Structure 1
């Protein structure tokens, strides 16, 4: 956080404030209360349940009444789901709360504790100090339909990650027993490929069979409409000279069948989540304006709104740029310039990924974006690399989406060119 923004946040907090640092955990939370001048006036712990929360609220309010300071600010790390439970409780009781970066807490603690001592109380002290000095992030829990679409997006990313993990494992298993298989099938999840892998994926077993028997076995396992017999025959021919392993084949074959079943199951669940998420998108007031950008699909728009939440919480599009972590960040020391100015990459990675792939589609199908992408790379003064030009387009796309929402207008290339 810059010096200016730190001073601004400290000014907002004002004097007469008690800063409460909480180190959240599964069973027990540790709390330290400090004055504005840094004096520590209380330390206690409370369990992660209804009774513990009631005790916490009662104690901090009692301390506040005894002190001159009348305002309470609670600071905590965004640890797992614990911070959401505490945040909901604080919002219901009208208490301000801040989030502090866990990495910042770690580095500040190591700087203050030269012996690298660590315990929950020290962490709580560091959290309170960071809040007192203005090194924090202000946030609010999402409400209503925005929280709903956020949870759908979380499930979407988890299932997508599970599918990629299973595909990676499947790729390694097939590579052991039939490394030449990839010459025929680039996608192992196609219907013909699935039928071969489910029936018999091991080259050493395939070459023991007659070709007609192998073709019949694959046909029996095939569930699609039109099987590629030519590719099945090519697989049989490659199996004759394969260098695949010869031992443990039954175990590998079973593992392949399990991975294929997992991928199919996860894909079905992903389709269900996607349908629910896009239905949820339709009920958001911003949807019709954002969907007017034809290069962006329903899934991309849904994931975008899931990351930013209610657009009314933000004051300008630059806040979205920082949230995505695509703002240029200097990287120099003295006379040394460590490469060209990179983007920060300190924001939300899912939002950044969505913007990246969206801009790739915009370059293909939107004339204004395609022309700007080309100009940025070919200009005579300070021409940009491909990735740098994409970074500029990602920034521009966020400003366009901001304008569409706040001006309540539909998109067209002329509108983008005017910005």
Structure 2
């Protein structure tokens, strides 16, 4: 069955009945603004400004009940922009009150701000009304409270991203330090963050300190701190390049102090990365269909965790194309009359999910025989550009994920028919 977005749009519109009170909320850090309309878009009642706390939430609830009673409306639907993280506590509280909450795309709100008054003006009161209008017209996305397992994955993988950024920044600074003080170190150790290079930087980081030693002293020091040390030959090479180093000899005390702090940060981030990845693996063990996903050759643990953390329960998606749309990987085209524009991906979705789907598919092309064969066929036989083939395979991968989780199936290369025309 083909997934048609227009069918989904019609369903969203049909859900709004004449008995609905439609509330739009403009989210902020401390104070929110709410406005209400009926199913025709007629403004109901006065705007409400309420604080981002229990008292403010209660005043919103009382305001909603008052409007329902005044206009004899039985159902409520509340729309809001997923602005940063400020909307999460409010939406959770509303779910606990059994009130339906949906989200609208902030980009759509910006595009629709002139619908009411045909002006470019912007205010919290106007934005709340625009949001309510968009919900009334079916331009919203339904959300459901994420189960604790998937919420844990989302938080842990976001934490991992932060650690990775810090680690990359630290490694870049260590490389810069080596370039300034001891550039010849790379002639002995190709990887500056390898065990041998890091141990050397801890013990005798500058050429001046190495010159005061002998190759035997260097090798002996390595043995005390490394189980598998580089050896005397490597120590002699290090001693030789230190004699001819062109690294700076100015402010060496400050350079040593800087390096010490960089190594402390490097140790901290690597330890944190190991801990968070270990925790991620333990959380994945509690996902019902995790073994099915692990049966996909070439799909690593981090990719699985990243996709599940950003997308949530994959079995809740109606089709793989819905997952692509959630990630912003669906195709869009601008055309008019005889003119047809270039087809591109929308990038209107979860950027981290796009990244994990992209990286996972790249790994599959390199390590999974079926995906690798399909990619070669697309490029060599069908004449596709490599990126276009990659995007098609991301779509195939998304449909496989949703199909496997919905049907509780393991990976079956023969059933997938990747080698047939896509």
**Range into which the TM-score falls when normalised by the shorter chain:** 0.7 to 0.9
CA contact (8 A) 1:206 1:214 kept: no
How many pairs are equivalent?
A: 415
The farther-off stretch of 155-164 and 230-239 is 230-239
CA contact (8 A) 1:366 1:413 kept: no
Answering whether residue 157 of structure 2 is matched by residue 177 of structure 1, we say: no
Matches for 1:1-400 after TM superposition, within 5 Å: 6-36=9-39, 37-39=41-43, 41-109=45-113, 117-202=121-206, 205=208, 209=212, 212=215, 215=218, 219=222, 222-227=225-230, 230-231=233-234, 233-332=236-335, 339=342, 341-380=343-382, 383-400=383-400
Deviation sequence 1:67-86 (CA, Å, 0-9, x none): 24433222212123221111
User: Equivalent residue of 1:260, what SS?
Assistant: helix
1:319: how far off?
0.8
1:113 and 1:251 mapped to 2: Cα distance? 62
1:220 and 1:111 mapped to 2: Cα distance? 74
1:267: how far off?
1.7
User: Equivalent residue of 1:225, what SS?
Assistant: coil
Residues 400 and 207 of structure 1: CA distance in aligned 2, closer, same or farther (over 3 Å): same
Residues 243 and 331 of structure 1: CA distance in aligned 2, closer, same or farther (over 3 Å): farther
2:231 and 2:124 mapped to 1: Cα distance? 62
What is the root-mean-square deviation in Å for CA atoms of aligned residues?
A: 3.2
2:158 and 2:80 mapped to 1: Cα distance? 22
Deviation sequence 1:71-114 (CA, Å, 0-9, x none): 32222121232211111111111212221222333344478789
Number of the residue aligned with 1:416: 416
Q: Which runs of 5+ in 1 are unaligned?
A: none
CA contact (8 A) 2:219 2:231 kept: no
CA contact (8 A) 1:191 1:224 kept: no
1:153: how far off?
2.2
User: Equivalent residue of 1:329, what SS?
Assistant: strand
User: Equivalent residue of 1:82, what SS?
Assistant: coil
User: Equivalent residue of 1:357, what SS?
Assistant: helix
2:248 and 2:335 mapped to 1: Cα distance? 52
Residues 185 and 353 of structure 1: CA distance in aligned 2, closer, same or farther (over 3 Å): farther
Deviation sequence 1:306-365 (CA, Å, 0-9, x none): 2221233221222112223332322456655555x3333333233222232322332333
User: Equivalent residue of 1:226, what SS?
Assistant: coil
1:112 and 1:254 mapped to 2: Cα distance? 61
Deviation sequence 1:359-402 (CA, Å, 0-9, x none): 2332333322222111111235xx21111111111111122222
CA contact (8 A) 1:199 1:217 kept: no
Q: Which runs of 5+ in 2 are unaligned?
A: none
User: Equivalent residue of 2:283, what SS?
Assistant: helix
Residues 225 and 57 of structure 1: CA distance in aligned 2, closer, same or farther (over 3 Å): same
| TM-score of the superposed pair, with normalisation by structure 1 | 0.86
Residues 353 and 218 of structure 1: CA distance in aligned 2, closer, same or farther (over 3 Å): farther
